[in-house]
Every structure is written in C-alpha cells, then in structure tokens.
Chain A
C-alpha cells in the first residue's frame, strides 16, 4: 500500500504534535501524515479509573503504551504510543539558559549551538503558549522573558510555602517550577483540580499531546497512522532526496506500507530517530542516511543529577501536591571554567524517612497501634526532597549503535545506548560531587539534617544523536533540523541538541520544533 502526503512525520510524540499543529496552521493546504509505532490511547473517559488502579494496584496507568519487542539497551522509558513520553510527563517546563548555547565561547568547553539565544527565546514563548504553561518570572535578570507566562503560577501549597521559607534561609532564592498545567481553563482543557498524579492526569489539566492529535484529526488533510513501524527510509534513484519511508502495520504485517512525501521529518526522539537513520543505508550512505559526518548516533547526551533527602523541623503534610515544586536558577551561571558546575536546584515535599514502617529501629515488628504511634512520632518532622540536574557534556563516543544481538520481530537490530562524558566533564567529577555535598549541608545548616544523598545512575532527559551545527563535518543537521545530506529530511526536537542543559528538556525540544515547522513550511511554494 502506498500513502502519499506533502509532509510525512515519523514518530507521534509531543514533537510530532507540535510540528503537525504549527505546520497545519502555517500551511493549511498541506497534507500531513503522522506515523507512530504505538497505539492511540485516546480513551480519556477511562483515565480516572486507570489512575485509581495505578494507586491501588500499581498497574500501568497507560495500559498498552509499549511494544514488547521494540526496546533498547540504555533507554529510560518504554513508552511507545501516540503522545509518546509526554503522556507520562510531569509537565515541568523549565527553560535552558544562554550558557547552554554558548559553552565554548563563554567557557572554552564542548561546543556552541548555531543559534542565538534571543532567537530561541521567541520560540520558548510560543512553546509556552501552545502547551499552556503556568509560571512566575525568575528573580534573575539573565532569565528575562520577552513575554509573560500565559497563565499565573500554580499556587504554592502550605507545604511549598514552608519549604520555600526553609530553603531560602540558605540565601538561595527559589521560585515555583513552571509547568504545563492549567491554573485556569486554557486551550480547551480544564483547570487543575490537584489530583496529585500528574503522570496520569485524569482531567486534561496537564498538557498531553493526545489532545493536540485529536484536534488535528478534525482536519480533512491530516492522517494519523498508529501501530505502524517505519523500518527504513529510502532515497530517490541517484539522488540524495528521501523518496519513501518503508513501514509495517502491526495489524497487517504481511502488507508493507510505503509513505511518499515531499518532506520527511523525524520526530521519534533521541533513540528512535538516529536508530532509523542508521537502519536506512544506501549505496552513497553506507553508514546510514544523513550520516556522511559519521555523527548519527553520536554525542548522545543528557544531564546527571545529585539528590538529597533533608529532614526539616517544619509542618509538612505529605500528599498536598507532590508533583509541584520549587526551583532555583542561581547555579545556571558560573564565573569561569575552573569553577564550572552548572545546575538547577529543586525542592519538593516528601514523606521519605517519615513513612509507616513495619519494624522499629531495633528491628521489632510493629502492629496496629504501635505502628501508628511510631509513624506519628517520626512524622513530627518533615522532609525536603532536593535534587540538582547538572550540566555534563558528551564525548563523541557517547553513542547509539545497532545491536546485532537484539532484534525485533521483523529482524531489525535494536538500538543500544551507551553514554560517555567528555574528558573535561570527567575531570570535574570530584569537584562537582563536593559542590553538591556542601550545597546540601548549606541548605540543612539553619534547620535540617541530611538523611541521605545519592547520585543518579543514568542521564535524565536524554537527547542528541543528530546534533545540530553550522558545519556539515561536525554535525548532522542545521539549527532548523534540516539534515546536511538530504534537503528534504528534517530531524526535530531532542535528537538535534548538542548538549542537554541542566534542567528538564521538553520545553526546549518543543521550542526548537516550532522553529523547524517554520522552515519546513517555507519549503513549499505558496499556492
């Protein structure tokens, strides 16, 4: 079967939703097809029930949101469905800062992005409008915004008010974390009613891409082909132009599907976008499409993190709104390369250390009244959960490769991701750890006791694999995601990031995607 459209978008997550939505507004005459390997989970009427089953039985709140034989070594989420990882998303919408785009020119480290901060900032504003972000301005001049947040910040709970008082005793300013959650009816979705389960928002108050896809499906020239895995891209004979995407519908695997389009856009995230390019070999591109630089699947990035649980003498009532927290952006800036440790600093309410327990400190079993008495005694103190995502830079060998030993049902090798940090980052490891230990002690100094500290064993908010750059020899695509090797092939969102900053990445992925949409729209002559 052959399916033709003007634009074929491969991958059905938040990047695809934003790209398709903006393109459909810029160029309503274009036909757009989104192809997604996972299922549509559009049964919003069941979300409250799924939430309840998740609370009571620890069942998957998004049943059917994965493909059992389509996994990867080193991946941090198995979600594969229309909406992608943003179905489970907590909604945090932090911006990066200019330093993330200017690491080389400001500090002599790693690389710069081929993009000006002021340009990206415009698209941050648009991303916030489209997602519906509630937030308050940062107290730091460097974080100035050209537009206000579209919605007032989520109210601080009693717990957050107490935590802010506590945290600011250290002299570090905190604000509430901006989130794609409605503090009033917005975008056709309801106001948040504080269900405390944002990863399965039962009301739609937290933005989720499935709402955008349902709107798009009302258009006559938009198609969403779910449960369809794109296995290869193929080139036009003798040209560097992508002619088709070869796919298989899981429901009819015996009937291959071929997608033909003027423009192809990969929106499958940091894992599956480079994976598809590596699978798509051609005589002129024996190492995969868009890969004449050899950098597809290289410079895989993310941010590392350090965390602490700090017991504080404050009236904290765990469960008021556990997903809403505080952020300080003070450490986004550093003075020089010698003292380079950039990070965000986050604080949430927590019950850690004050949860009910079966055994007392001396190992005796507690039942009924004695268990409740023990719990109440320990619950007189509160806990602050503290975490800093910190900036680490990938080595070229931080890679996604094809794993010949692991194949899906169609015999395609699956991805293997192995992160590796560059030499400068490795050299800073001890200094970074010491910085965080001192910081946690500083927070605890006036009122508190550090109960535990820990370091993440994976890189969060992963990105990279098709990094952008001005030079075709050292990057896969330009700042619009247009690949250097194929004029009609774009990569959008997370894979294009050279580095993953030191805070949540989703808003940045979306902002870059909205910019990509403008460039794709401009590829078509005005009719």
Chain B
C-alpha cells in the first residue's frame, strides 16, 4: 500500500512534537501544509478571492498559496533597504499559525451559508486586528495573507486594470509606448 506524502509528514510532525523538537514540527507543518485543512483553505479562498477568477482560478490560486507556504524560508535574509537601512531576516514559517487559524475557521466554512462564512472570516480578521492588506504575507492571519498573496500579485494588478501589464514579467521594450492590451477573455 502506498503511504501518502502528506500522511508521512503528519506522522513526522507528530513525532517531532512528541519529542519536543519544535523546529522539526514547524518544518513538517510547512512542508505538509495544508495537511488536513485543504478543504478549509479552498473554502476560504472562495470567500476572500474574487468570484470572477472562476472556480478553477480560485483553486489554482489556493494551490499557488500552498506552494508559497511550502517554499517559505525561515531566517532568510530580507532586503535591508535604502535610506533607513537595517538588517532583517524572515520570521518563522507561518504554516503552524495558518493551520491553527484554518482549524478555527473550519466549522463555519464547512457548514455555514455564504453570509455566515463571510461573517466568520471578517470576525476572524477583526479579532486578529488586521488593519491593512499586508505587503507580502506576514503570518498574522491566513485570510489576510491569502488575500495579500493574490491581490498584491502582478496577475491581480492585470485583473484590476483589465489589461496585460505584466508588472513582474520581463516584457521587452518594444510596444511599451502603447497602453497595455486588454486582457483576453478573463476579465
């Protein structure tokens, strides 16, 4: 019988936790994210992302967020800036926090109606005192971070303007004097 990768990671996480190996547990939770919260994450995505992405687009964005969480490198150097410069490093993986928050949202997102689901997410964001959309996901709340992940993206920028700006792409200089072409069949 094949054992699923996620199951192994869950076992590793539990083992690490039992042994008091905090770092092992965090690693396992990041690598195995979203573990058994996959459905909750997708339900959350359906609430916090725009419907015009379509079901497939919302699922694709949720999966991209999962990849982002798994690719997060705790302790990585951050840009030290210019002007008021300082050395900074990325904090711990947000995965454990996200998993707890998804678990807390799970009942409302699994059974409530659309309004109740929205209210549950809003309530969670209010409780977490999230005032602004983060520049990049900052680990304070999974709902805000999933929104930041999408709405701060080049893809969302294109969708907002209904134009193929391609902010984060390398696009060449030719034709840049023209307004970006309208998005085709997506907006």
By a beta-carbon cutoff of 8 Å, the part of chain A in contact with chain B is: 53-61, 63-64, 66, 68, 71, 75-79, 88, 154-158, 161, 183, 191-197, 202-203, 315, 317-322, 351, 355-359, 365, 367-369, 371-372, 375-376, 379, 456-458, 460
Contact = CB atoms under 8 A, between A and B. Distances in A.
A46 B85 CA distance: 24
Interface in B124-144: 125-126, 130-133, 135-136, 144
B78 A58 contact: yes
Interface residues of B, number: 58
B122 A365 contact: yes
Contacts of A376: 160
Nearest to A357: B133
B171 interface: yes
Contacts, number: 160
B151 A371 contact: yes
A318 B165 contact: yes
Contact of B79 (A54, A196, A357, A358): A54
Nearest to A195: B170
Contact of B50 (A195, A318, A368): A368
Given A78-B87, A359-B132, A321 B176 contact: yes
B100 interface: no
A58 B170 contact: no
A357 B132 contact: yes
Closest 3 CB pairs of A and B: A319-B167, A60-B77, A356-B151
A197 B170 CA distance: 9
Contact of B133 (A192, A317, A358): A358
B83 interface: yes
B161 interface: yes
Interface-central residue, A60, A78, A368, A460, by most chain B CB under 10 Å: A368
Nearest to A356: B151
Interface-central residue, B71, B118, B126, B151, by most chain A CB under 10 Å: B151
A195 B157 CA distance: 16
Interface of B: 47-52, 68, 71-73, 76-80, 82-87, 90, 118, 121-122, 125-126, 130-133, 135-136, 144, 147, 151-152, 154, 156-157, 159-161, 163, 165-173, 176-180
A158 B90 CA distance: 36
A77 B131 contact: no
Nearest to A363: B131
B71 to A, nearest CB: 8
A351 B177 CA distance: 18
Nearest to B144: A358
A154 B82 CA distance: 25
A458 B90 contact: no
A463 to B, nearest CB: 16
Contacts of B73: 57, 59
Contacts of A59: 73, 76-79, 90
Contacts of B168: 55, 196-197, 319
B180 A320 contact: yes
